[in-house]
Chain A
Amino acid sequence: MIDDLPDDPGSVHPVSAAPGPARAGDLLATALAAFGLLAELGETVEDEWTYVTKLVEVGSARLRAAVPDAGGRVPPESAAAIDALAAEAGRITDPHRAIDWLSTFPAVAELALGGGGVIAPARPPAGGA
Chain B
Amino acid sequence: MRFQDAARDARTIVYAGIQADPLVARLAALAADATYGQRLMARAVMNGESTDPATWRVIFPTVFGPAAPDLERAEALLAASLRVAERGEQVRSQFRGAFVEALAQVLVARRTGDAAVRRERRVLFDGVASEIHPYDLTVETAGREEAWDCKWGARGINADVLNQLDDARRHAVGEERSLRVGLIVFDVRTSCAVRLSQQTAPRQGTAVVTLETLDALAGRKATPG
Contact surface of A with B, Cβ cutoff 8 Å: 15, 48, 50-51, 54-55, 58-59, 62, 77-78, 80-81, 84-85, 88, 91-92, 94, 97, 99-104, 106-108, 111-112, 114, 116-129
Contact = CB atoms under 8 A, between A and B. Distances in A.
B144 A84 contact: no
Nearest to B92: A97
B198 A91 contact: no
A101 B191 CA distance: 11
Contacts of A80: 58, 61
A55 B141 contact: no
A111 to B, nearest CB: 6
Q: Give 4 nearest A-B pairs by CB, closest first.
A: A121-B213, A103-B191, A124-B216, A118-B222
Interface of B: 36-37, 40, 43-44, 47-50, 55, 58-63, 65, 89, 111-113, 116, 141, 144, 146, 153-155, 180, 182, 187-191, 194-195, 197-198, 207-209, 211-213, 215-217, 219, 222-225
A127 B182 CA distance: 14
A111 B112 contact: no
Given A100-B155, A117-B37, A122-B213, A129 B116 contact: yes
Given A97-B47, A111-B60, A122-B213, A117 B146 contact: no
Nearest to B37: A111
A107 B153 CA distance: 14
B195 A51 contact: yes
Nearest to A77: B61
A52 to B, nearest CB: 10
A119 B195 contact: no
B113 A88 contact: no
Contact of A88 (B50, B153, B187, B198): B50
A118 B36 contact: yes
Nearest to B62: A111
B219 A128 contact: yes
A78 B59 CA distance: 8
A54 B155 CA distance: 12
A116 B153 CA distance: 19
A93 B13 CA distance: 32
A104 B43 contact: yes
